[in-house]
Amino acid sequence: VADPVAASYDVATQEMIKRAQDLGVETCFDRAVTLKPCNIGNQGTCCKNCGMGPCRLPLPKGGVEDGDDRKGICGATANTIAARNFIRMVAAGASAHSDHGRCVAEVFMSAARKETDAYQIKDIQKLLQIAPRLDVAITVERDGEVLDRDIDEIALEVAEVALNEWGKAEGELKYLKRAPAPRYELWKKFGVLPRNIDREVVEIMHRTHIGVDQDYKNLMKQGTRCALADGWGGSMLATDLQDVLFGTPYPLQSEANLGIMKKDHVNIIIHGHEPVLSEMIVAVAQSQEMIDYAKQAGAKGIQMGGICCTANEILQRHGVPLAGTFLQQELAIITGACDAMVVDIQCIFQNLANVAKCFHTKLITTHPIAKMEQDNVLHIEFDEHHAVEDAKRIVKLAIDNFKNRGEDVVIPQHKNPVIAGFGVESIEYHLGGSFRGSYYTLNDNIINGRIRGIGAVVGCNNVRTRHNEAHLTVVKELIKNDVIVLTTGCNAIACGMEGLLTPETAQVFCGPGLAEVCETVGIPPVLHVGSCVDNSRILLAATEVVKAGGLGKDISDVPAAGSAPEWMSEKAISIGQYVVASGVYTVFGTTFPTSGAPVFQKYLFEDFEKMYGGMWDFEPDPIKHAHKMIAHIDKKRKALGIDK
Ligand code: NFS
């Protein structure tokens, strides 16, 4: 079994791993000890795209300096195999984000058509802001007079145009033009403007089939096009339409870590990604009817908590506390206090069902595309047309289950306050100029050196490295060196658990320049900007920085760097690729899936900089990782002539 202290940096997590072991319940931390990864697959050089293989191409003992004659049965080189595997990861990741986006767009369509009472257009300002980006007019001309167009009409057209982005026959994605003009021109020059979201994924599957594309550069061209369809397409549409349906987040206060669960409350943990379902559950669980029902059942109330990106979605819009990161999902059940865990899509361990079997927890799957084979799992399929009824059924199930709790409940007493809910709009509010209204204050402080640059630190946990340690070390090292951090996904949750998402953090961890700015403005040095699809907010924030002036003409000019210290999902690879192609130097930790093909890897790590101004890098040591980012930021400062 795993050593709890070696497995996680977080004390609550350590306590729950220990408890699981005492109870004889196996978790991913234990499996990581017994299940070793395949080194060849890990390095990207195992090809299983046909029935003649798998062809495994280990790195030769002496390296590949004197040439590399490794090949598979068909002759595919290590570069071809690694590039195929890499862009298949991009395809899977882009699909996950974009299918989530499509689902939101479909609910948006139902709301626009008024087919559902549960969902309405909540944020009209945001609707009016995105409509022109989709070439939907917000005014009409009648008799020479310019009039505001009917909101319902605009919503319907936005829904139609947005949904069309997944499968239109001609043209290119409309949001690409939201990028700075030189960036758009660069994509055009390299032939990587995505046509529609689905097509770019399909083309990856075709090109990586046996005997099709056998040039790693050409394969990566499609990988880039597909990743851009994620970042500036599916993910950005998901964020925007969610904001219109559920409200654009603004800073609010909450808490993070397993300690948010309450012994005397009905605890409902929502885990997954699409806020379509969780929005309803939150609304229903807060209703007086359900609170009364919970009290009748002997509980003091209902405590909601989130895991993974669902957590970030309901945190940023409703202040629902974060129960934990990706690697804490089993542990929430191991408290013995989880009356129901509701899951939808992505990042959900199948082992949750095995853990739930050892406790009273009802595990409920809700999405038609994500079920579990174990027979103790309930499936309540969620549909926007009867969303409130579904949510009520789920919340009632949890309340009814409260009485079945065992005596043995242990909730770790660890949690920290967080401020979350930042975004393009609120950063402008806090760090904009009072007269100019753009990102003037932020830019000004970067130019004068109080803020050295911007770090975007995001992504998963990976059980192959100590839970949260790399996340927190990278972030602390960046803010210590006056780099302001934007965070999403499980990194944001890790930062919340550690207490880094509060303005008070500034005095403790920041360099003097960043501390001064944070204290003056009253913001944390680490800004939680949402879930992983909300990395699109980071792309748009970077674009706003370019627009505000003084820091170059393109995203690649800005003193900024990206990082995913503990990544593990294919989604992270898609994100990394669109961030790189948007001009940002991006460092991944833990492992890198192309290390078995050094020539291809060099293409990603070095040649990409000449093409896109942004490139990949890999550094498992978190301090070195942060300093690679800082070195890149300094290089950009120097190029801008603002290095003092
Ligand atoms: Ni992002 Fe969110 Fe977490 Fe990784 Fe999974 S939850 S979409 S993939 S593990 S950050």
Ligand 1 close to Cβ of residue 490 (< 6 A): yes
Q: Residue 435 pLDDT more than 70? A: no
Ligand 1 close to Cβ of residue 342 (< 6 A): no
Residue pLDDT, tens place only, 476-493: 999 999 999 999 999 999
Distances (CA, A) of 119 to 123, 246, 388, 509, 531: 12, 8, 10, 42, 21
With the most atoms of ligand 1 within 8 angstroms of its CB, the residue from 532, 533, 578 to mutate is: 532
Ligand 1 close to Cβ of residue 569 (< 6 A): yes
Radius of gyration, CA atoms only, the chain: 24
Q: Once rounded to an integer, what is the mean pLDDT over residues 125-148?
A: 96
> How high is the mean pLDDT of the chain?
96
Measured from the Cα of 489, ligand 1's closest atom is 10
Ligand 1 close to Cβ of residue 493 (< 6 A): no
Which pLDDT score, from 0 to 100, does residue 10 have? 98
Which pLDDT score, from 0 to 100, does residue 62 have? 85
Is the Cβ–Cβ distance between 536 and 101 less than 8 Å? Answer: no
Residue pLDDT, tens place only, 159-194: 999 999 999 999 999 999 999 999 999 999 999 999
How many angstroms separate the alpha carbon of residue 308 from the centre of ligand 1?
6
Closest CA to 547 of 451, 415, 436, 472: 436
Q: Specify which residues 305 forms β-bridges with.
A: 269
Q: Residue 402 pLDDT more than 90? A: yes
Which pLDDT score, from 0 to 100, does residue 643 have? 87
> Both tokens of residue 563?
């990082």
Q: Specify which residues 304 forms β-bridges with.
A: 268
Which pLDDT score, from 0 to 100, does residue 433 have? 63
Which pLDDT score, from 0 to 100, does residue 562 have? 98
Which pLDDT score, from 0 to 100, does residue 65 have? 85
Residue pLDDT, tens place only, 239-293: 999 999 999 999 999 999 999 999 999 999 999 999 999 999 999 999 999 999 9
Ligand 1 close to Cβ of residue 532 (< 6 A): yes
* 3-class DSSP assignment, residue 291: helix
The residue nearest atom 7 of ligand 1, judged by CA position, is: 532
Rounded CA-CA distance 437/548 in Å is 9
How many angstroms separate the alpha carbon of residue 534 from the centre of ligand 1?
11
In degrees and rounded to multiples of 5, residue 353 shows phi and psi of -65, -40
Rounded CA-CA distance 496/556 in Å is 29
Predicted confidence band of residue 384 (pLDDT cuts 50, 70, 90): confident
Where does residue 547 fall: left (phi above 0), alpha (psi -120 to 50 degrees), or beta otherwise?
alpha
Which pLDDT score, from 0 to 100, does residue 263 have? 97
Predicted confidence band of residue 368 (pLDDT cuts 50, 70, 90): very high
**Of the candidate ranges 10-24, 52-66, 77-91, the one whose mean pLDDT is the lowest:** 52-66
249, 254, 260, 263 alpha-carbon torsion, rounded to 10°: -100
Which pLDDT score, from 0 to 100, does residue 586 have? 98
How many angstroms separate the alpha carbon of residue 347 from the centre of ligand 1?
6
How many angstroms separate the alpha carbon of residue 623 from the centre of ligand 1?
23
Q: Residue 629 pLDDT more than 60? A: yes
With the most atoms of ligand 1 within 8 angstroms of its CB, the residue from 273, 490, 590 to mutate is: 490
Q: Once rounded to an integer, what is the mean pLDDT over residues 561-565?
A: 98
Q: Could you write out the DSSP letters of every residue in 480-512?
A: HTTEEEEE-HHHHHHHHHHTTTSTTHHHHHS-H
With the most atoms of ligand 1 within 8 angstroms of its CB, the residue from 343, 346, 465, 574 to mutate is: 346
The residue nearest atom 5 of ligand 1, judged by CA position, is: 347
How many angstroms separate the alpha carbon of residue 350 from the centre of ligand 1?
16
**Of the candidate ranges 60-74, 214-228, 567-581, the one whose mean pLDDT is the lowest:** 60-74
Distances (CA, A) of 283 to 101, 104, 112, 119, 452: 21, 18, 20, 11, 41
